[in-house]
A and B are shown apart, each in its own frame.
Chain A
Amino acid sequence: MTPAPEVRTLTPRHSLELLAQMLRIRQFEDRCAQLYTEQKIRGFLHLYNGEEAVAVGIMQALGPDDAVVATYREHGHALARGVPMNALMAEMYGKRTGCSGGRGGSMHVFDVSRRFYGGNAIVGGGLPIAAGLALAEKLAGRAGLAACFFGEGAVAEGEFHETLNLASLWRLPVLFVCENNLYAMGTALARSEAVTDIRAKAAAYGIASAAIDGMDVQAVEEAARGAVQAIRNGGGPQFLECRTYRLRAHSMFDAQLYRDKAEVEEWRKRGPLITFTSRCKALGLITEEDFLRLEREAAAEVDAAVRFAEASEWEPVETLRRFVLAEPRA
């Protein structure tokens, strides 16, 4: 694992920004867990607790014209990308004001105005799409790229290998971001991969790759900026393996029989919020008051989002058959 780079460029303002983003995600996810138990949110709900640094760090390096493809654990990515929390929460509820019109729910968050091409609930299903988005940028002669998030479980899928090969062969502007949280649902990496060094798999396809500490937002940001710069310089696809940990269960319906509580507690101490906050405090970048204020602001935003979602209307049942095929845009 690459050691965390020294903190040189971090300003108080940027550190507050990073912390605020991660706090928003954390509080949003905790509220979602609560709302799920209250049956306000249904279906499968996969929470991002513990992995906030990855989404927040990567997004710092992306421009508004870059495309993002995420997984079914994508609330954090959506928030970090700028999808409004109101629209995201309304989507959790399935309300018509949701960012996918309520039809997608937790696993299918879309916001094309922000080039956010969705949560994909088929493991590995997003990778080829990201390659296609990147191909379009390349063919159009634009500088944009496609950032593709996926878990380490996807590495076992054929689509992972097929897409890496294709992206490398065609030198497509794809930033592959593997969120290695060590468990594909309940299967530990070592139980599903003969070679657990994922970075090495990408390297085997001739893709520049690095493994970084996915719990350190600063490290993620720095690696992402480097990788993005390499892509924009025509270096072809880049691959970041972000080593992280899922602090909550895979989904709400998970007894976590596959891992020890002690292991979770150990990782909790290394959680991205804790480590980044204490580092910034130590460097004098933020104060405890700053942290509490950000927490309050995030809570207030979540409260407002819940109120918005609650107050929003359901999509009329008569519209059931809408959107099966493309509709003329208004």
Chain B
Amino acid sequence: MMSYREALREGLREALQKDPKVFLMGEDVGRYGGCYAVTKNLLAEFGAERIRDTPLSESAFVGAGIGAALAGLRPIVEIMTVNFSLLALDQILNNAATLCHMSGGQCPVPLVIRMATGAGRQLAAQHSHSFEGWYAHIPGLRIVAPATIEDARGMLGAALRSPDPVLIFEHIALLNREGELTGAAVDIDKGAIRRPGRDLTVLTYGASLFKCLDAAAQLAAAGIEIEVLDLRTLRPLDDALIMESVRRTHRALIVDEGWRSGSLSAELGMRIVEQAFFDLDAPIARVCTAEVPIPYPKHLEDAALPSVEEIVATARAMVAHES
């Protein structure tokens, strides 16, 4: 058994052991051991040159990561949380995502940026964002969201093999979740069906995956079999798998911790309409976070976030038949 947090750390260790060009930098990744303790003890193992504490200068150290990548290194930049990444948005969007194109292909950016994402820990309105769908809007980036222990460990290696910038979104609510490692190869191209079902396809990723699996178990007891598809990679989306599943079940429910307006969930819904409209047997539905900055109190945060109950109720309504 291994926790998601340990799996992330193992992924980092493997990457650092395997390739001397790999190094990690970010706020408090060294002496502090990482804001979420992901990088604990790595400083002792790999030294301060490769486990670099940075000042609170997100734009600078993300930009520095871009430069180092251009020069042939394989930097892994950790941004403490997704909301801090906004301070580096200029570098991520205007440089990492565009250098390859605007240099006519001369300057691909093999940079990996990891960051914590998501709500559920009562961190209130400035520390509970889910902006991965936002980043998935940007051409030139690859966006991945590990949900399983396997992916938590393996996606980093796959990301480092990518010649393009990869942003890895690690959900804070998953850090303590435990599971078994199978050692299977991990890619960052495909979605995965985590539970097969015939009645409805649920598209989700990250921490919402487990809410969906819980919902699936409840629904199965009521005779409703939902298929749970873990998107894994949010850009580019695995359209083939998504459509294959939706064509089979004829119903699509999107569960996303992001807000719904102008979102990844909207994008998914639109793609299904474009590619599988005539296979749909019910309107596409979404369970997303309420369109409100995340409030601090638990009962309001819970009410704002997608819940198992809401997923179950929505799925039930979608497959309901009047007798």
Direct contact of A and B (CB under 8 A): yes
**Bound form: Cα–Cα A125–B84 in Å:** 10
- Say yes or no: is B269 at the interface (Cβ < 8 Å to chain A): no
Interface pair A102/B296, CB less than 8 Å apart = yes
Sorting the interface of chain B by its residue count into under 10, 10 to 19, 20 to 34 or 35 or more gives 35 or more
Closest beta carbon of chain A to B51's beta carbon, Å = 12
Closest beta carbon of chain A to B81's beta carbon, Å = 10
- Say yes or no: is A44 at the interface (Cβ < 8 Å to chain B): yes
Interface pair B291/A258, CB less than 8 Å apart = no
In the complex, per-residue mask of B79-96: 1 if CB is within 8 Å of any chain A CB, else 0: 000011001000000000
Pick from B55, B59, B126, B300: contact of A120, CB below 8 A: B126
**Bound form: Cα–Cα A15–B274 in Å:** 73
- Say yes or no: is B299 at the interface (Cβ < 8 Å to chain A): yes
Which residue of the partner chain A has the closest CB to B123? Answer: A43
- Say yes or no: is A255 at the interface (Cβ < 8 Å to chain B): yes
- Say yes or no: is B184 at the interface (Cβ < 8 Å to chain A): no
Interface pair B31/A257, CB less than 8 Å apart = yes
Q: Which of A140-148, A183-191, A288-296, A299-307 contacts B (4 or more CB under 8 A)?
A: A183-191
Interface pair A154/B296, CB less than 8 Å apart = no
In the complex, per-residue mask of A104-121: 1 if CB is within 8 Å of any chain B CB, else 0: 111110000000000011
The binding surface of chain B is classed by DSSP as: loop
**Bound form: Cα–Cα A187–B51 in Å:** 13
Interface pair A122/B296, CB less than 8 Å apart = no
**Bound form: Cα–Cα A187–B28 in Å:** 6
- Say yes or no: is B221 at the interface (Cβ < 8 Å to chain A): no
Interface pair A192/B53, CB less than 8 Å apart = yes
Closest beta carbon of chain A to B316's beta carbon, Å = 21
Closest beta carbon of chain A to B15's beta carbon, Å = 23
- Say yes or no: is A265 at the interface (Cβ < 8 Å to chain B): no
Question: Which residues of chain B have C-beta atoms less than 8 A from A159's C-beta?
Answer: 87
Question: Which residues of chain A have C-beta atoms less than 8 A from B295's C-beta?
Answer: 94, 102-103, 315, 320
Pick from B59, B83, B290, B304: contact of A122, CB below 8 A: B83
Question: Which residues of chain B have C-beta atoms less than 8 A from A105's C-beta?
Answer: 122, 124, 296-297
- Say yes or no: is B121 at the interface (Cβ < 8 Å to chain A): yes
- Say yes or no: is A197 at the interface (Cβ < 8 Å to chain B): no
Pick from A103, A122, A187, A258: contact of B87, CB below 8 A: A122
Question: Which residues of chain B have C-beta atoms less than 8 A from A104's C-beta?
Answer: 124-125, 296
**Bound form: Cα–Cα A83–B126 in Å:** 22
**Bound form: Cα–Cα A124–B57 in Å:** 10
Interface pair B55/A156, CB less than 8 Å apart = yes
Pick from B33, B83, B290: contact of A255, CB below 8 A: B33
Contact A321 B290, CB 8 Å, known A104-B125, A186-B28: yes
Question: Which residues of chain B have C-beta atoms less than 8 A from A108's C-beta?
Answer: 124-126, 296
A/B interface sample: 5 pairs, CB < 8 A? A121-B126, A123-B84, A158-B87, A255-B33, A258-B31
Instruction: Give me the interface of B with A, judged by CB distance under 8 Å.
Output: 27-28, 31-33, 35, 53-60, 83-84, 87, 121-127, 290-293, 295-300, 303-304
Nearest 3 pairs of A and B residues by beta carbon: A186-B32, A94-B297, A105-B296
Instruction: Give me the interface of A with B, judged by CB distance under 8 Å.
Output: 42-44, 93-95, 102-108, 120-125, 153-154, 156-159, 184-188, 191-193, 254-255, 257-258, 314-315, 317, 320-321, 324
